[in-house]
Structure 1
Amino acid sequence: MALLSEDDIERIARKRAGAKLGWYVHATIFVVVNLGMFAFAYFGFARRPWSMAPVLGWGAGLVLHGISVFILANGTPLRARLLQRERERLQRLQREQQDSASGR
């Protein structure tokens, strides 16, 4: 793996911190909304039975979001290969644009 410049390190750190913060916000909203739904169902005027379907569905999404942020984003081999391919593609496009601008 090539050494990263200070700018690259800063960019990657900001991106990862943003992704983690996004998950924490997602988890907080999940808890608040589902507590509100439970309270409304239990203490509301209609006193309708509590349904676990929203909690299970949204909880599955929260788990998948967490896996993508905390497990997959930390540099799995698949992610590294995809990142390298994308980097090479962008470099190739940049070279082609430079060549066409210079008249080659």
Structure 2
Amino acid sequence: MLNLDDKYLQAKKKVEKIKAFYIHLFVYVVVNIGLIGINLFNFDGTLWFIYPLLGWGIGIVSHAFAVLGHTSLFGKNWEERQIAKYMDED
């Protein structure tokens, strides 16, 4: 049985992992927008930006599954959890 301090530490670690994922996602979006801009500005007939977009995208998806789990992405009871979350905000 976990005491309150252990539960707090576990929850804090989970939140830190989720925060790290969102930072990773933000960097992915910003960098890939830049790569798309560079590729289209210096267009030589090759759309090379798609390769880092897809490669890094695989990493983003695997990071999401590792942090959020496969069931939290619209899994069981997702809709109920979202409704409860937004009701608690008000």
TM-score, length of structure 2 as denominator length: 0.70
Q: CA deviation at 1:22?
A: 0.5
Read off the aligned partner of 2:62 and give its amino acid letter. Answer: L
Distance 1:11 1:33 in 2: 33
Read off the aligned partner of 1:23 and give its amino acid letter. Answer: F
Q: CA deviation at 1:69?
A: 0.3
Aligned to 1:63: 61
Structure 1: which 5+ residue stretches go unaligned? 75-104
Structure 2: which 5+ residue stretches go unaligned? 73-90
Aligned to 2:14: 16
RMSD, matched Cα: 1.6
Higher relative contact order (CA 8 A, sep 6+): 2
Larger Rg: 1
Residues 47-56 or 27-36, more deviating: 47-56
Q: CA deviation at 1:50?
A: 2.2
Q: How many matched pairs?
A: 69
Q: What is the identity percentage for the equivalent residue pairs of Structure 1 and Structure 2? A: 32
Higher helix share: 1
Moved over 4 A (4+): none
TM-score, length of structure 1 as denominator length: 0.61
